[in-house]
Amino acid sequence: MSISYHKSDATIVFKTSNRSNAKTKMKTYRNKTVDDIISAKKLIGVPDNAIIVEIGFGDMFEEQWKRKYKL
């Protein structure tokens, strides 16, 4: 048997493209691990050509990144 990971809020900050003026957006996934997000081929709500800037695990990242990226 394998050990299951604790599943909590996983938040990612991404840019919509690799251009310098691309919009920065944030998406929070409930009850998923960071490993699930990294290994996924397609993320719902994130474009295929998006550049992931940061990934965090927990509620505190969402508030910090809202202030940092002015979202």
What are the backbone angles phi and psi of residue 10, rounded to the nearest 5°?
A: -115, 125
Residue 15: the pLDDT is 95
- Average pLDDT of each block of 10 consecutive residues along the chain (71 residues)? 66 92 92 84 90 88 91 89
> Phi/psi class of residue 31: alpha, beta or left (left: φ > 0; alpha: ψ in -120 to 50)?
left
- Taking residue 11's Cβ as centre, other Cβ atoms within 10 Å add up to 23
Residue 3: the pLDDT is 61
Q: What DSSP state is assigned to residue 1?
A: -
* Cα distances (Å, whole numbers) of residue 54 to 26, 28, 37: 9, 12, 12
- CA–CA distance, 28 with 17 (Å, rounded to integer): 19
